[in-house]
């Protein structure tokens, strides 16, 4: 299931480099297939959709991530934390910095309650810094995302290392580094398919 979410994000980021509206349509087309598989997978697909929409239709992105948070599966703390992080990026796109910080704080609170999730909390802290820096300095955000990738590679966590590379690709593209973004996505694809 984690791999499904990872590959969904990878697909989203790759298509997003070319045409955000096409990316949104692709994820929308996934919804009827994923919804019968249960509320958790449904929530993850809505999460992907919100991620695509946040760049050019932030209000619709907010609607989709709110739908995901309203699903019964969102009572799971790990999933809620993931959705709250997505909400934070949507709130940044909507210009609601305070709401973005509150969403990040909620995700951190959920993860910090469990010692075994310390690495997830650490990742959220790095990503939250990256989210905020991206508003002002994408170069610094790229450095933060690269540090996250290095941390998880050292830990042997291929899933999170791959996801960090997706973040690197997204930020690189935001800086106009199309070739760098494609290279990062290719490496992420190789990691996630192992």
Q: What is the DSSP string of the chain?
A: -HHHHHHHHHHHHHHHTT-HHHHHHHHHHHHHHHGGG-HHHHHHHHHHHHHHHTTT-HHHHHHHHHHHHHSGGGGSHHHHHHHHHHHHHHHHHTT-HHHHHHHHHHHHHHHHT-GGGHHHHHHHHHHHHHHHHHHH-HHHHHHHHHHHHHHHHHHT-HHHHHHHHHHHHHHHHHTT-HHHHHHHHHHHHHHHT-
Q: Which fold has domain 2-192?
A: 1.25.40
Share of the chain above pLDDT 90, in %: 6
Tokens of 22: 């096409």
Q: Where are the domains of the chain?
A: 2-192
The confidence score (pLDDT) of residue 102 equals: 82
Contact between 33 and 39 (Cβ < 8 Å): no
> Tens digit of pLDDT for each residue in 26-81?
777 767 766 666 777 778 788 878 877 877 888 999 999 999 999 887 788 888 88
Is residue 12 very low, low, confident or very high in pLDDT (cuts 50, 70, 90)? low
Give the span between the Cα atoms of 101 and 127, in whole angstroms: 12
Q: How large is the C-alpha radius of gyration of the chain?
A: 15
> Tens digit of pLDDT for each residue in 165-176?
777 776 676 666
Tokens of 156: 């042997």
């Amino acid at each position: 299931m984690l791999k499904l979410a990872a590959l969904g994000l990878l697909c989203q980021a790759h298509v997003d480099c070319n045409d955000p509206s096409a990316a949104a349509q692709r994820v929308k087309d996934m919804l009827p297939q994923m919804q019968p598989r249960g509320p958790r997978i449904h929530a993850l697909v809505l999460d992907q959709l919100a991620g695509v929409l946040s760049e050019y239709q932030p209000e619709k992105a907010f609607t989709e991530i709110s739908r995901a948070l309203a699903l019964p599966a969102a009572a799971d703390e790990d999933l809620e934390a993931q959705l709250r992080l997505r909400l934070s990026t949507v709130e940044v796109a909507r210009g609601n910095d305070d709401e973005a910080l509150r969403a990040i704080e909620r995700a951190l609170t959920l993860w910090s309650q469990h010692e075994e999730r310390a690495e997830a909390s650490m990742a959220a802290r790095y990503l939250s810094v990256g989210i905020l820096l991206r508003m002002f300095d994408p170069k610094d955000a790229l450095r933060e995302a690269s540090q996250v990738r290095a941390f998880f590679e050292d830990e042997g966590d291929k899933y999170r290392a791959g996801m960090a590379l997706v973040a690197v690709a997204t930020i690189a593209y935001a800086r106009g580094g199309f070739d760098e973004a494609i290279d990062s996505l290719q490496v992420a694809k190789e990691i996630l398919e192992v």
